[in-house]
Amino acid sequence: MSTLEVTKRQSRVGRRLLYLLAEHAPAVAIALCFLLPLTIGVLTAFMTQHQAGTGSLWPSPWEFGNFRKVFTAMPFGRDLLNTMLYAGLSTVGVVVSSVPVAYALARLRWRGREGVFLVVLAAMMIPAQVTSLPLYVMYAHIGWVGTLKPLIVPTFFGDAFSIFLLRQFFLTIPDEFTEAARVDGAGELRILWRVLIPMAKPAIAAVGLFAFLYAWNDFYNPLLYTGNSDTGQTLAVALSQLAKNGHQNAYELQMAASLMFLLPVLVLFFLAQKVFVEGIALTGVKG
Amino acid sequence: MTTVLAPVGEAPGSAHPRPARGGRRRPSRARWWVVLGFLSPFVIGFGVFVLYPVIATLYYSLTDFQAGSYRPVQFVGLRNYRALFSQSDTFWVAVRNTLWMVVVMVPLRTAWAMLTAWVIIRVKRGRAVYRTLFFLPSMVPVVAAALSFIVLLNPVGPLNRLLGWVGVDGPGWFSDPAWSKPSLVLMALWASGNVMVIFSAAMLDVPRELYEAAELDGAGALQKFRSVTLPAISPVIFFALLTGMIYTFQYFTEAFVASSSANATSSSNDLIGYPANSLLFYSTELYRQGFSYFKTGYASAMAWLLFLVIFAATVVFIRASRRFVHHAGGGR
């Protein structure tokens, strides 16, 4: 084998490597930026009280007790239960109340339909700040402030964003399916239940997912209605008050608690990626 | 529950006789009480949780109402609005800070989402992995994200140590009034993955032929981005800027958590805006006036003003960008 051939092959390998580097280097660099805060947060959750916040990058020794300590530093279990109640019930509320409204807007023919749809769009755009002052007064009047009721009950009365999303999806389902059922003498509720809901599962799953994540992450409403409550805190608010309650420099506890708070979201994200993709793909085919 | 309404679907009262099979069938008109039944959650919900409070806020804003006080409520006309503009200094601090975020954070976040999307679509193998990694931070609950950034940006914390290795003297971040807003901008860039996903989808939709044509004309990567990609994704840029602007006018949680957790020496109500009111935003000021001081009338005036400003800014923005988006979409 001639030396020429070897150098030729070497240069080809070198070129491939350079090419690979050029392809991936920017993406890897950005990925590292995105991962840095998460990595630091996770590592801090395993540091000792003494080490956290000193700028150390690696836990030594590893302190696994922080997660247990969270439960004594704050009523984590109770707040977790409250968060699960809020997120779970409001998911049910949003789905159960928004599906029929979206059905009426997409599948029933009646005068004023477009007008009501515009009202839904308008409702989506109204800032929470504009409605929260009278709502607070109203809830205070009926003794709901300090409980989870102001967070959960409204979700059972239709959510504008979810109605909008479901309507868009219902419109992509061909008329033939519902008309065939109508010819067979099925009522509207039966058509909705037997025909449309099974076909709209991906969209309903997406709406439910959004509702769950919204409630899980929600800060403003729980702060207003349960912020000073002894029994009704949710995790988002409780975490933000850890610092206030004598743990201001307990970064390791804040990170351990944040990690436990974040975990269900991550699990849901990885499980639901498929739901999202399927939902989008289905809309694409049908549209 | 299905059986009760079952026969109604026939809707025989309609003016359209049912056409023969195979013809173009039009759904017959539904009976009004069926429609109302299906709509009822939204009708009640909209009335109680949207329409009533919007009108009530307007009414409160014209009074000296203080929630929780037994003092009789007096109608004061536009006094609350005049007070905003003339008497309050914190109001103008909040307005300035909020506008700063709208002008600096929103374009930067949009540009960063665009850049990261562009980087991603140029990767051939392993694109899905990068997309998941870039997207992941936007799934992190805002409170958890803010706490992580307080740890990361602690003046003697990890990032400043990393900066020290390369000879940079890191700033005080969340505890320095000059750096607190840039710290929040960093956090917004970090959590921009949801916008990035929309950008990368739009970029992948650009027909390949356009790039090939540009290559034939001898265009480089940057030139291709400017004259092919950018026009094609201008509707997404518009969407990202508009929703970003609306969100930032109401910017609350990030600022509230950063202020109350970065320094926790006293009660959280005194910590709104920490450090030195540099993180006092419109919504946090509104919260303080309305729910800490219970100046309900005054806060209602703030709320209505915010409503009007968001509405006006949206209309102006849509008007102004219509030409830009249209021109870019149909350009060359």
- C-alpha triplet A67, A72, A75: angle, nearest 5°: 100
CA–CA dist A5, A34 (Å, integer): 43
3-state SS, chain A, equals CCHHHHHHHHHHHHHHHHHHHHHHHHHHHHHHHHHHHHHHHHHHCCCCCCCCCCCCCCCCCCCCCHHHHHHHHCCHHHHHHHHHHHHHHHHHHHHHHHHHHHHHHHCCECCCHHHHHHHHHHHHHCCHHHHHHHHHHHHHHCCCCCCCHHHHHHHHHCCHHHHHHHHHHHHCCCHHHHHHHHHCCCCHHHHHHHHHHHHCHHHHHHHHHHHHHHHHHCCHHHHHHHCCCCCCCCHHHHHHHHHHHHHCCCHHHHHHHHHHHHHHHHHHHHHHHHHHHHHHHHHHHHC
pLDDT digits (tens, 9 = 90+) for A218-245: 999 999 999 877 777 999 999 988 877 7
The two three-digit tokens of residue B203, written as one number: 């970029």
Give the model's pLDDT for residue B332: 37
Give the model's pLDDT for residue B13: 39
CA–CA dist B166, B61 (Å, integer): 54
Task: Using a pLDDT cut of 90, give the percent of chain B over it.
Answer: 53
Interchain pair A129, B250: CB under 8 A: yes
Give the model's pLDDT for residue A243: 77
Which residues in chain A have Cβ-Cβ distances shorter than 8 Å to B222? Answer: none
Instruction: Judge whether residue B10 has pLDDT over 50.
Output: no
The two three-digit tokens of residue A45, written as one number: 């959750």
Mutate to test the interface with B, among A126, A129, A161 (most CBs of B within 10 A): A129
pLDDT digits (tens, 9 = 90+) for B239-296: 899 999 999 999 999 999 998 887 655 554 567 888 889 999 999 999 999 998 999 9
A122 in Cβ contact with B46 (< 8 Å): no
Instruction: Judge whether residue B143 has pLDDT over 50.
Output: yes
* pTM score of the predicted model: 0.87
Please list, in sequence order, all residues whose beta carbon lies within 8 angstroms of the beta carbon of residue A79, skipping any fewer than 6 positions away.
A233, A234, A235, A238
> pLDDT tens digits, chain A, 287 residues: what are they?
566 666 667 778 888 888 888 888 999 999 999 999 999 999 999 999 888 878 888 998 899 999 999 999 899 999 999 999 999 999 999 999 999 999 999 988 899 999 999 999 999 889 998 999 999 999 999 999 999 999 999 999 999 999 998 998 898 888 888 888 888 888 888 989 988 999 988 889 989 988 999 999 999 999 999 987 777 799 999 998 887 777 767 899 999 999 999 999 999 888 887 666 554 444 433 33
Give the model's pLDDT for residue A232: 76
Cis peptide before B158 (omega within 30 of 0): no
Rounded mean pLDDT, B32-36 = 90
Cβ atoms < 10 Å from Cβ of A231: 11
Tell whether B106 is covered by a domain: yes
pLDDT digits (tens, 9 = 90+) for B121-137: 888 888 889 988 998 99
CATH number of A73-286: 1.10.3720.10
* Collapsed DSSP state (helix, strand, coil) of residue B330: helix
Asked if the interface predicted TM-score (ipTM) of this complex is over 0.85, the answer is: yes
Minimal-distance CA residue of chain B relative to A238: B143
On the 0-12 / 13-18 / 19+ scale of CB atoms within 10 A, B128 is exposed
The two three-digit tokens of residue A225, written as one number: 């209605």
Mutate to test the interface with B, among A142, A165, A189, A254 (most CBs of B within 10 A): A189
A residues 231..270 contacting B (CB < 8 A)? 236-237, 239-244, 248, 251, 254-255, 258-259, 261-262, 265-266, 269
Positive or negative CA dihedral for B173, B179, B183, B186? Answer: negative
CA–CA dist B245, B123 (Å, integer): 31
Domain boundaries, chain A: 73-286
Residue-number span of the structural domain to which B246 is assigned: 88-330
> What distances in angstroms separate CA B61 from CA B53, B79, B286, one per listed residue?
12, 9, 13
> What distances in angstroms separate CA A227 from CA A234, A240, B147, B188, B295, one per listed residue?
8, 10, 18, 25, 18
Give the model's pLDDT for residue A51: 87
CA–CA dist B324, A226 (Å, integer): 46
Which candidate, B111, B129, B110, B108, places its Cα nearest to that of B120? Answer: B129
- Rounded to 5 degrees, what are φ and ψ at A109? -100, 120
pLDDT digits (tens, 9 = 90+) for B198-235: 898 889 888 888 888 998 998 888 888 888 888 889 88
The two three-digit tokens of residue B50, written as one number: 């949207």
Mutate to test the interface with A, among B4, B26, B32, B49 (most CBs of A within 10 A): B49
CA–CA dist A19, A15 (Å, integer): 6
Tell whether B140 is covered by a domain: yes
Give the model's pLDDT for residue B264: 54
Tell whether B59 is covered by a domain: no
Across A174-185, b (16+ Cβ under 10 Å) vs e yields: eeeebbebbeee
**What are the contacts of A263-268 at 24+ separation with CB within 8 A?**
A264/A216, A265/A213, A265/A216, A265/A217, A265/B139, A265/B140, A265/B141, A266/B136, A266/B139, A268/A209, A268/A212, A268/A213
Tell whether B236 is covered by a domain: yes
CA atoms within 13 A on the CB side of A44: 32
Give the model's pLDDT for residue B50: 95
Give the model's pLDDT for residue A4: 64
Give the model's pLDDT for residue A278: 56
- Residue B5: pLDDT band with limits 50, 70, 90: very low
- Rounded to 5 degrees, what are φ and ψ at B16? -95, 120
Nearest chain B CA: its distance from A9 CA (Å): 24
CA–CA dist B58, A79 (Å, integer): 35
CA–CA dist A221, A86 (Å, integer): 11
Closest partner CB to A157 (pick from B29, B44, B161)? B44
* Collapsed DSSP state (helix, strand, coil) of residue B219: coil
Minimal-distance CA residue of chain B relative to A188: B9
Instruction: Judge whether residue B55 has pLDDT over 90.
Output: yes
Average model confidence (pLDDT) across chain B = 85
Number of domains in chain B: 1
Q: What is the CATH number of the domain that holds B262?
A: 1.10.3720.10
Interchain pair A140, B53: CB under 8 A: no
Task: Using a pLDDT cut of 90, give the percent of chain A over it.
Answer: 54
Please provide the DSSP assignment of B236-296 as one string: HHHHHHHHHHHHHHT--HHHHHHHHHH--SS-GGGGTT-STTTT--HHHHHHIIIIIS--H
Cis peptide before A61 (omega within 30 of 0): yes
Give the model's pLDDT for residue B288: 93
